[in-house]
Structure 1
Amino acid sequence: MDEEKKDSEEQAQKEKAKPAKNENLKKQDENEAWKKVLKQDERNFEEKYDFCPTENPENKAEQVIRHGKKSTAKEKYRRKVLKRRVLIVVICILILLLLILLFTKACHQGNESPQKVDAVSSQSEEPVSQPFDSMINSDSSNIFDHAAFLGNSLLEDLNTYGLVGNSDCFFKKGLNVSTAMDETMVGHNIPVVEELNNGKNYDRVYLVFGENELGWSSRDTFISEYKTLIQKVREYQPNAKIYLTSLFPVAKAVSDNPDERNLTNSAVDSANEELKEIAKDTECTFVDVASAVKNSEGALPDDASTDGIHPNME
């Protein structure tokens, strides 16, 4: 009887212990599940940030910081390399464009018609006793390579049209033989004549003056001032041969209706005779460009200028 009672109690205790054991098993299962979740999260973190953990889990934070710095450095280096590559490409493109420009310019110069220089040469024949062999016998492509021009707006036109080759041109609109001693070129700060005192040694210096002086009341003043200017030019360029270019004629309409400037073809002819005398007195060379452009009436052709005074390129 006692034994049956004892067995019954043991059985009751076992039944009572089952829920507790089941509860422990359940908690163990939950702990295992959380461990799996945490391990999966850790693996996801490592894969996302390319992170290799050390054996010491406490160093993970330090490794994350170090990994972030390393990634930033890599990004900066990548950007630096990219900038260098872009810069190299830009430089190569600029060099290529420069080469194309130089090649195009060389081709243009090589194919340029000699008619331009021939036209200037034909206008530069020497009509007086002083020979003009230095220009006639020289290569027309380099006549003006070591030359300088000094003068008024007619010279500006010659330079704009490219008819004076590689020469240096010093000019100003309205310039005359007197103001050339003190007025400056646009954007410059020295008198126009002093532009010749630039350290270069020119073979030839061409002076283009007279149109703006036609209205002067005293022709003796014009002659005196021109000789003073020539003396100054010779001071700056003692080895250069000096050429005095004749005045251009004007259109008949301009000549027939003169104003205070006295732009008449008779005045032009008289001034050109004065220039011949000035050239002889100063041992310069007179260049008769007027005879090369006059028509049968002794005037500038109507289609040779837009204002009847300044010749066009043709």
Structure 2
Amino acid sequence: MMKKYWYTMILAGSLIAVKGGTLISQGAGLENLLNQNGKPELLSEAEPAAIASPLSSSAENDAGNEGDSQFSIPRLPGQSTDSDQETVFSESSSSDLETPEEETGAQDRTEVPADDPVSGAATSTSPAETVSETPSAPIDFSSTLFIGDSRTEGLKEYGGLNEAEFFANSGMSTFNLLSASLTLKDGSKKTLEELLSERSYERIYLMLGINELGYPSSTVIRQYSAIVDRIQALQPNARLVLEANLHVTKKKSDSDPTYGNGKLNALNNAIYQIAVDKGCGYVDVNGLFDDGQGNLDSKYSVDNAHIMGKYYTIWAQWLRTQHV
């Protein structure tokens, strides 16, 4: 009986000793996971991220992750708004993840063009800016006829359009155009109807009107329209381009209302309407030489009505780009 008692006492003592050792072991392990503030330490990258608790209160998040938002993942639509449901990742578990804020930032970044001529800083370009149209080749005027008055004669003399044919002189108007006989590039002398009947042109430019401003406007417009009809009848395959008349300077416009820019603008508007009605092209060069107030800039002219010779090449180069 006594032997059985001692056996029982020895077994009980062994169990108590084992239990106590286990508790000591568990207590030591827990102590190692606590820092001096009693909070779990962040795990190093060498330790498994799964050991860290995936949950913490929002207060702990604010204290531990202030200014370090890469550890916090915002809630998805419909996710619980309870503070204890916000997921927090350790450095090791979040290193390969991007938050939605980071993704948005990545989308907003722009590549720095290698040849940025201004500052080399990042520039933002829209899709429309990155897809540029190929410029059209300059127009070849080798099969082109220019018809006009002294302004067109200036293009002939100074514009460098040597491949083109010209039928122009000072004083030319819609009223004397069909009766005039002029010397051409090849030395022959012809009327406009003879020229248009004998040769074929791909493009024909017409600039007339300023010498007719002393006539009633309705008469001028009717005559101009009749000239367009005649040219189209003789050259049905040619592209006829009507040109707006060049402005005069403010000095000329104010001193001589007959040739003022107000009347020129009214005539140019009528010519534009003829172009629309008859299927012609239309160009207006005034934007190159105006002073910003609708007058020929005096710095381009010495007589207040024509541009100086050196500027006709600019006009000619501009015409080569007008695919109308």
TM-score norm. by structure 2 comes to 0.50
In 2: Cα distance, 1:226 partner to 1:241 partner: 17
Structure 1 counterpart of 2:159? 162
Kindly indicate whether residue 217 of structure 2 is the aligned counterpart of residue 224 of structure 1: no
Structure 2 counterpart of 1:171? 168
In 1: Cα distance, 2:253 partner to 2:288 partner: 18
In 1: Cα distance, 2:160 partner to 2:213 partner: 25
Kindly indicate whether residue 300 of structure 2 is the aligned counterpart of residue 304 of structure 1: yes
| Partner residue of 1:153 out of 135, 150, 153 | 150
Please report how far the alpha carbon of residue 202 of structure 1 lies from its aligned counterpart in structure 2 after TM superposition.
Answer: 1.1
| Partner residue of 1:292 out of 288, 300, 306 | 288
Provide Cα deviations, 1:200-219, integer angstroms capped at 9, x if missing partner.
Answer: x2111000101111111x21
Please report how far the alpha carbon of residue 156 of structure 1 lies from its aligned counterpart in structure 2 after TM superposition.
Answer: 0.4
Provide Cα deviations, 1:148-176, integer angstroms capped at 9, x if missing partner.
Answer: 11111111001101343411111121011
In 1: Cα distance, 2:136 partner to 2:240 partner: 17
| Partner residue of 1:279 out of 275, 280, 285 | 275
| Greater share of residues in helix | 1
Structure 2 counterpart of 1:191? 191
Q: How does 1:62-211 map to 2 (within 5 A)?
A: 138-140=136-138, 142-185=139-182, 190-199=190-199, 201-211=200-210
Q: State the number of aligned residues.
A: 174
Secondary structure at the counterpart of residue 297 of structure 1? coil
Structure 1 counterpart of 2:261? 265
Structure 2 counterpart of 1:250? 248
Residues 243 and 149 (structure 1), Cα distance of their counterparts in 2 relative to 1, 3 Å cut: same
In 1: Cα distance, 2:248 partner to 2:288 partner: 13
What code does the residue aligned with 1:279 have?
Answer: A
In 2: Cα distance, 1:204 partner to 1:282 partner: 15
In 1: Cα distance, 2:294 partner to 2:259 partner: 14
Comparing both chains, which one has the higher relative contact order based on Cα–Cα distances under 8 Å and sequence gaps of 6 or more? 1
Residues 193 and 254 (structure 1), Cα distance of their counterparts in 2 relative to 1, 3 Å cut: farther
In 2: Cα distance, 1:306 partner to 1:256 partner: 16
Secondary structure at the counterpart of residue 197 of structure 1? helix
Structure 1 counterpart of 2:239? 241
What code does the residue aligned with 1:195 have?
Answer: L
What code does the residue aligned with 2:192 have?
Answer: V
Structure 2: 5+ residue runs without aligned partners?
1-133, 312-324
Secondary structure at the counterpart of residue 235 of structure 1? helix
Secondary structure at the counterpart of residue 174 of structure 2? coil
Contact kept, 8 Å, 1:244 with 1:284, in 2: the verdict is yes
Secondary structure at the counterpart of residue 156 of structure 1? helix
In 2: Cα distance, 1:153 partner to 1:311 partner: 11
Secondary structure at the counterpart of residue 181 of structure 1? coil
Contact kept, 8 Å, 1:171 with 1:192, in 2: the verdict is no
Structure 1: 5+ residue runs without aligned partners?
1-135
- CA RMSD across the alignment: 2.0
What code does the residue aligned with 2:281 have?
Answer: T
Secondary structure at the counterpart of residue 167 of structure 2? strand
TM-score norm. by structure 1 comes to 0.52
Residues 169 and 282 (structure 1), Cα distance of their counterparts in 2 relative to 1, 3 Å cut: same
Greater radius of gyration (CA): 1
